[in-house]
Amino acid sequence: MAKINTQHSYPGMHRLSVRPTDEDIERIENGYIRTQSLCEDVSSELQGVISVEGGHVSESQTSSFTGRGAMARLSQFVLSIRSWATRHLQHEDQRPDSFLERIRGPELVEVSTRQSNIRSLLSIRGQPGAVNSHWPLARFNVNYSNNTNEDKKEEKKEVKEEKKEEKKEEKKDDKKDDKKKEEPKKEVFVMDPSSNLYYNWLTIIAAPVFYNWCMLVCRACFDELQMDHLTLWLFLDYCSDIVYVFDMFVRFRTGFLEQGLLVKDEKKLREHYTKTLQFKLDVLSLMPTDLAYLKFGLNYPELRFNRLLRIARLFEFFDRTETRTNYPNIFRIGNLVLYILIIIHWNACIYFAISKVIGFGTDSWVYPNVSVPEYARLSRKYIYSLYWSTLTLTTIGETPPPVKDEEYLFVVIDFLVGVLIFATIVGNVGSMISNMNASRAEFQAKVDSIKQYMQFRKVTKDLEARVIKWFDYLWTNKKTVDEKEVLKNLPDKLKAEIAINVHLDTLKKVRIFQDCEAGLLIELVLKLKPTVFSPGDYICKKGDIGREMYIIKEGKLAVVADDGITQFVVLSDGSYFGEISILNIKGSKSGNRRTANIRSIGYSDLFCLSKDDLMEALTEYPEAKKALEEKGRQILMKDNLIDEEAAKAGADPKDLEEKIGKLETSLDVLQTRFARLLAEYTSSQQKVKQRLARVETRVKKYGSGSLSVAEGEAEKPEEEKK
């Protein structure tokens, strides 16, 4: 059998990044062995030809392929080419990518026995001397039995060591992860823009901003003011700078809402602030322009005008205060007045500065000559300038006419500013005053309409006076607000919270509601209606049907005799009555009728809960309904106001009659609906039958082929008729 040369077995095996399976290797080996065996058979035959013919060839013919022995020489040439190709056509392993190795790390490769054999074969080929050997597998076959067990042991050891190293690395990674989990995240302090702390900080930062806007321009224009109190100004300036620096840190720690949640991530907060225009303005406001004092001297406070760029903080403080104050209209008016004063103040300072540049006393328009003692005082300089600025901006009174071009230009600008700004301010003041009087005007309109109605219906003077007094009481005690109208824009949850905050404590005082579940109490709280009774009004009379229960919020009520004068008991704040009548307890001797006369002594504020509202709320709480009825029954038993036999008898016939009446009305409604639906069904059925008959006649007349054409022609006149 021919020897198998595996010198070229799988030269690209080590370049593959994907490890082949055992089946693939076996299939490749079998195919390669068959190919190599054929090649070796050919080579053995060529060797035989060379041995047979080689002995008869002369030395002169060995260098040519013609003549005798040509076949032998050709065979020898083929074998030499084959051996040269075997020696030189060796492929180097592909160099792995170092970047991928750093990212992925070393790969653990499981080596099978077949692959280990191939690798050992390739390692033998890489040994010196193996290149010159024509039959390397012969040597491999001799040493295979000795090296296989050793290679296996070495490979197993290597695999075990790699697994151990991997386990150690995994344990280290797990320990690091556990440490990260155990270490608590550092909580970054974030200020909520809606919190009181943030508003307090706005109050602090608004003070230096307002100081800079008022005093910097004044110190820049009036030299005496700057130089006489230099130490004070330097102290205040650098205190304001410190507050500005802290304000930037606060900005970096101010949260904002993202999808309804307050963002507390430090990176997001920083990016959110640095991307805004306000960040650039804040940086410019902290530029150390004070260093120019070293060159120009301390008499130039205008070098600090970049501090005015923090004006947005002052506006934000005003906006927050307007939403927090209980007197927003008064605050708006005060805010407008402050804006007017600041504009007049700046205009006065600019007027004095222009007069200084042109020259004091050079003409009638500028400030008079300061050499005169009367006009040399600082207070006179500022007040004179403020007076001129007020007259110019408000266009009230006369001022000296300008003389020079610069003066004309400044006066024109002042007139334009006065017309635009003060017209806007006056309009805002008018709208504010009208808003303040809107509620009064609306209330007065209601009173006037009631008066007209009473005069038209010729109501008695006594009753008319009582109605007017009742309206006066509502206005003076601020009870004219319609709660439903005010709270209609709020979501149901906030409405419930407001109602709970206002009424829940009052409702819990009622005996039958003391042990009710929270859900039912919330339902009842939302259904309470405030009512006001005038002095002498009857809340209820003996024998009236009880449809409401009342809780006294404020005022005094008296339980009186039938004459309406004799008082038995006086009910005050927190008292209640009528809770048993709205439950309609079976067996009650009084039924659902009132058992006493209750009259208001003065003006009384009461909460009313109707029977219908209570029953509507109890439909969702059947167990609570049973508990309330049981409590009411116990209260009646204590007062000996219940007929036990009637209570045990079962349902009240009146209630059954009412239920039967309701069922009859609902049944009538259903019958009418059913009759209407039946009529519609019969009409549609007749239409369908007519259409089917029409189609059958057309099929018989025209045939199935021209049916669609006939239908189209028949439908056209019908549409034209419609």
Total count of domains within the chain: 3
What's the pLDDT tens digit per position in 542-585? Answer: 888 888 889 888 889 999 998 888 899 999 887 888 888 888 77
Only one residue has tokens 């041995």, namely 51
In a domain, 577, yes or no: yes
Tell me: do 279 and 332 sit in the same domain.
no
98 inside domain? no
Whole-angstrom distance, CA of residue 385 vs CA of residue 401: 15
Is the pLDDT at 500 greater than 70, yes or no? yes
Asked, for residue 106, whether it belongs to a domain, the answer is no
Which amino acid, one-letter code, is at 592? N
pLDDT in tens, 361-396: 899 999 999 888 889 999 999 999 999 999 998 877
Residues 510 and 628 in one domain: yes
Nearest one of 259, 260, 258, 280 to 269, comparing CA atoms: 258
- CA dihedral defined by 706, 712, 713, 718, rounded to 10 degrees? 150
Evaluate if residue 279 carries a pLDDT over 90. yes
Percent of the chain whose pLDDT exceeds 90: 25
Any domain includes 263: yes
Q: What is the pTM of this model?
A: 0.56
Paired tokens of 199: 């508003």
419 and 468 in a single domain? The answer is yes
Q: What is the DSSP secondary-structure string of 172-224?
A: HHHHHHHHHHHSPPPPPP-B-TTSHHHHHHHHHHHHHHHHHHHHHHHHHH-HH
Show which of 652, 671, 704 is a domain's final residue. 652
Same domain, 440 and 498: no
CA distances from 438 to 63, 433, 529, 661 (A): 127, 9, 25, 50
Same domain, 315 and 365: no
Range name among 190-194, 464-468, 541-545, 651-655 with the lowest pLDDT average: 651-655
Query: Distance between CA atoms of 698 and 703, rounded to whole angstroms?
Result: 7
- 112-136 pLDDT, tens digit per residue, is 444 444 444 444 444 444 444 444 4
End residue of a domain, out of 652, 668, 698 = 652
d(C-alpha 294, C-alpha 349), whole Å: 25
Q: Which amino acid is at 177?
A: D
Residues 307 and 359 in one domain: no
Which sign does the torsion angle of CA 167, 171, 176, 181 carry? Answer: positive
Cα-based angle 558, 561, 563 (whole degrees, multiple of 5): 115
Domain holding 356, by residue range, is: 327-480
